[in-house]
Amino acid sequence: MSNFGFESSDEDPDKKKDPGGNSTPGGFGFGSEGFDPAALGQMLTQFGQMLSGMGTQGQGGATAGPVNYDLAVQLARQQIGTITSVTAGKSEAVADAAHLAELWLDGATTLPAGASKTLAWTPGDWLDNTIETWKRLCDPVAEQISGMWTSGLPADAQQAAGPMMGMLSQMGGMAFGSQLGQALGQLSKEVLTSTDIGLPLGPSGVGALLPEAIATFSEGLEQPEREVLVFLAAREAAHHRLYSHIPWLRQRVLATVEEYARGIRMDFSAIEEAAAGLDPASLTDPSKIEEILQQGAFEPQTTPEQKHALERLETMLALVEGWVETVVGEALGERLPGAGALGETIRRRRASGGPAEQTFATLVGLELRPRKVREASELWRRLTAAVGIDGRDGVWSHPDLLPVSADLDDPAGFIDGVVGGGSSSFDDPIAQLEATEAQERSEREKKDGDKSS
């Protein structure tokens, strides 16, 4: 599992303890030996001295919130380096590819075009236009981790720490912001479209392709770059049709990430053990702080709530990706000779944990690698054959009508339900409300059962 902005490493082999296992003189701990407020005061004073100059280094002094996004953006731009403007020819090629893709998609789905325009972005454009969504994705995790620093301390430690805990939060925000910036800077040069990881990262109604990354991606492929461009434009357009015209979808996906964050827990016994061997005098050295943060004691633990949220998110993303694959395949299959091969290339890129999925796992603690995309594509294909395009797309009209994880493994029952009119009850608003309440009640009971066990 990811460490939410901090990388794990083995316990510091240089941690000094006497043969009896106690910390060296000058150390402090939270264990049964008692808490030494004077030692903590000394440590936090040195924390403050170290951080006093850190909070204003190239960040405009903005340190509020759980993540220092000013630092993240600054480091991302450094990672991107010199940006070459998109030429007029590339912009025109992107616009033409998007227009053609939209025309072909019209016959493959009942959902109308969702992007009012499709632009050619540089890596810098991608960073500027997606940072707000990254804030929403990262803040819940960072807030949980930040709050745990304080809640995990004994009461006497919290009282002694006082306002200095703000310094610790500031350092955590800088650490998360630093890793976020480096990762987004690299990711900005590798993503192909604004929806490359299956999420609507950019502004609503604005499609985007990144010509520089697409040119690199096209190298070694047998298909001409123009065909690759049309194929990726169709995928981008299909994502926007879904996220623009299914009003609950964007909120449901992002809210599931937030639900995952709320389930984060940390092993404070491990944190106390790590703290027991600290020498306050060493904390004037920023490298020592980095060593502390890299210890596995600070790794969040997986909880039942997180597992349920993760399963729902993986299923939702698989359904989105599978629907896009199905629709794009139907729209381009007979018109673009290499569409099938390109679709398989994209699928393998996702399944192997490409740069987008790895970055998201590092930053947010979730692997956006839908494990059942192939099964979801097969379900949508079979459903299309059984009930037509209208019936297939009508399943998106309410979240309770969508297949669940078990349906992806055995779609026959789900398809029979749709063929038999299983969605008709949702024409009745009262029935819809009752079904929604029943679903929410079932989820609460399931969570309570997990907690009691």
Structure confidence at residue 222 (pLDDT): 87
Q: Check the CA dihedral 17-20-21-22 and report its sign.
A: negative
347 and 444 inside one domain: no
Residue for token digits 């745990």? Answer: 148
Average pLDDT over residues 359-385: 79
Choose the final residue of a domain: 371, 402, 429: 371
In this predicted model, which residue has the larger pLDDT, 351 or 58? 351
Structure confidence at residue 19 (pLDDT): 40
104 and 151 inside one domain: yes
> Is residue 57, in this structure, part of any structural domain at all?
no
H-helix or E-strand containing 446?
helix 429-452
CB 339 within 8 A of CB 167: no
3 state SS of 106: coil
- 18 pLDDT more than 50: no
Nearest Cα residue to 310 out of 395, 399, 372, 266: 372
How many Cβ atoms sit within 10 Å of the Cβ of residue 402? 16
In this predicted model, which residue has the larger pLDDT, 191 or 60? 191
> Is residue 353, in this structure, part of any structural domain at all?
yes
Q: Give me the chain's average pLDDT, please.
A: 75
Average pLDDT over residues 227-241: 97
Structure confidence at residue 323 (pLDDT): 97
31-40, 367-376, 400-409: which has the minimum mean pLDDT?
31-40
118 and 184 inside one domain: yes
400 and 344 inside one domain: no
pLDDT 10s digits, 276-318: 555 555 545 555 555 555 554 445 566 787 788 888 888 998 9
- 21 pLDDT more than 50: no
What separation in angstroms does the CA of 35 have from each of 29, 157, 272? 6, 7, 11
Q: Rg (Cα) of the chain, in Å, rounded?
A: 25
> Is residue 42, in this structure, part of any structural domain at all?
no
Which residues contact residue 266 at a Cβ distance below 8 angstroms, ignoring those fewer than 6 apart?
A: 145, 148, 152, 298, 299, 300, 301
pLDDT 10s digits, 82-116: 999 999 999 999 999 999 999 999 999 999 999 99
> Is residue 138, in this structure, part of any structural domain at all?
yes
Choose the final residue of a domain: 371, 406, 426: 371
3 state SS of 254: helix
311 and 421 inside one domain: no
367 and 396 inside one domain: no
CB 71 within 8 A of CB 59: yes
Residue for token digits 């004994």? Answer: 154
In this predicted model, which residue has the larger pLDDT, 158 or 184? 184
In this predicted model, which residue has the larger pLDDT, 264 or 102? 102
Provide the domain count of the chain.
Answer: 2
> Is residue 301, in this structure, part of any structural domain at all?
yes
Average pLDDT over residues 352-376: 68
Which two structure tokens, joined as six digits, stand for 350? Answer: 């996702």
Choose the final residue of a domain: 336, 371, 406: 371
Name the E strands within 69-143.
117-120
> Is residue 361, in this structure, part of any structural domain at all?
yes
Sort strands 206-209 and 117-120 into parallel, antiparallel or unpaired.
parallel
H-helix or E-strand containing 416?
helix 412-419
Structure confidence at residue 43 (pLDDT): 45
Give the C-alpha separation, 201 to 236, whole Å. Answer: 12
311 and 412 inside one domain: no
Average pLDDT over residues 381-392: 96
Structure confidence at residue 416 (pLDDT): 92
101 and 157 inside one domain: yes
Contacts of 393-398 with CB under 8 Å at 24 or more apart are 393/109, 393/110, 393/111, 394/110, 394/423, 395/423, 396/242, 396/246, 396/249, 396/323, 397/246, 397/423, 397/426, 398/248, 398/423, 398/426, 398/432
Q: Which domain holds residue 141?
A: 1-13+64-371
In this predicted model, which residue has the larger pLDDT, 29 or 147? 147
CB 83 within 8 A of CB 188: no
299 and 150 inside one domain: yes
pLDDT 10s digits, 388-401: 999 999 999 999 99
CB 194 within 8 A of CB 250: no
pLDDT band at 372 (very low <50, low <70, confident <90, very high): confident
> Is residue 322, in this structure, part of any structural domain at all?
yes
Q: Check the CA dihedral 392-320-382-401 and report its sign.
A: negative
> Is residue 27, in this structure, part of any structural domain at all?
no
Q: What is the pTM of this model?
A: 0.74
Structure confidence at residue 211 (pLDDT): 96
366 and 401 inside one domain: no
Percentage of the residues of the chain whose pLDDT score is greater than 70: 60
262 and 359 inside one domain: yes
pLDDT 10s digits, 46-83: 444 444 444 444 344 444 578 889 999 999 999 999 99
102 and 177 inside one domain: yes
Give the C-alpha separation, 282 to 275, whole Å. Answer: 13
